[in-house]
Amino acid sequence: RGRQPPVAQIANAANPEFGPPRVGEYRFWPDWKQEAALVADLLMRENLKKVLLIYSADPYSEALRKELQDRVAANDFTVTELQYDPASTPDFRPALIRAEGGGAQAVVVFGLPPGLTALVNQMSEVKWSGTTVGGVNINMVVNKFDEAGLKGPLWLVETEAMIGDPPKDLEVSNFRRLYRDTFGESPAFYTVYLADALYFIAAGASLSDVKNATPVQILKGVRVFDSASGTIRVLDDGTLSFVMNVRRAR
């Protein structure tokens, strides 16, 4: 930071404490404000006003928690919070039992595994029957919900890359197919975000009149591009806008 001329910095970064991007900085990760807004809109639309919010002790999940609380504060919501260490195997059962007995309508989950896997198994143990709402990271363990036999509604925040069967004309499908053909498995979520950075650089290199431009000037010319995560827009402040939706998975 602060170098003259400025250098381009591209990171797989999800820490809101870094502050807004400086000139030439780009962070390939879904925006927490966009994600929290989708969850808040869902809770209000479905009239889920009594919620247990479970989130892991990492900066991104903490930012999601705060943003969600701010968005529902004026709408007569009751949100009980439970933070967990993402590197441990917490016992969520007492909180889940209290939530079930206290009439909670939904469990909202912002977090990282392996704690997520433990949570799903324990929700099955206490026979959680309410709604579950998961941020983008819950897509890493979504198969565990079916294995655990949970019956309640499940809502997921997804990017285009997280759709089970994306349209074949999307770059998401091309990247997924080529990755499977090369490595014999589906790309992990962080693999997709890192690939996005390469697509971004390629989009800049394909622009006309880049011969005498600096990397910062070249990348600033990229406003939208199709990538491994789907269509990504680069906003005026340097933040990235993914196509994100909330989908009922069950």
Q: What value, to the nearest 5°, has the Cα angle with vertex 43 and ends 100 and 102?
A: 20
For residue 179, what is the DSSP state? H
CA–CA distance, 176 with 249 (Å, rounded to integer): 21
Question: Per-residue pLDDT averaged across 7-20, rounded?
Answer: 86
Confirm if 249 and 154 have CB atoms less than 8 A apart. Answer: yes
- The model's confidence at residue 211, banded by pLDDT at 50, 70 and 90, is confident
- Per-residue pLDDT at 138 exceeds 90: no
What is the rounded radius of gyration, in angstroms, for the C-alpha atoms of the chain? 20
Question: Per-residue pLDDT averaged across 29-56, rounded?
Answer: 94
Residue 108 pLDDT: 96
- Per-residue pLDDT at 43 exceeds 80: yes
- Per-residue pLDDT at 178 exceeds 90: yes
- The pTM for the full model equals 0.87
> Which candidate, 147, 148, 158, places its Cα nearest to that of 249?
158
CA–CA distance, 96 with 73 (Å, rounded to integer): 22
Q: Specify the pairing of strand 131-134 against strand 224-227.
A: unpaired
CA–CA distance, 247 with 42 (Å, rounded to integer): 10
User: Could you tell me the strand order of the sheet in which 224-227 lies?
Assistant: 224-227, 230-234, 240-242
Residue 143 pLDDT: 80
CA quadruple 37, 38, 43, 45: dihedral positive or negative? positive
- Per-residue pLDDT at 87 exceeds 90: no
Per-residue pLDDT tens over the stretch 220-237: 999 999 999 999 999 988
Question: Per-residue pLDDT averaged across 111-129, rounded?
Answer: 87
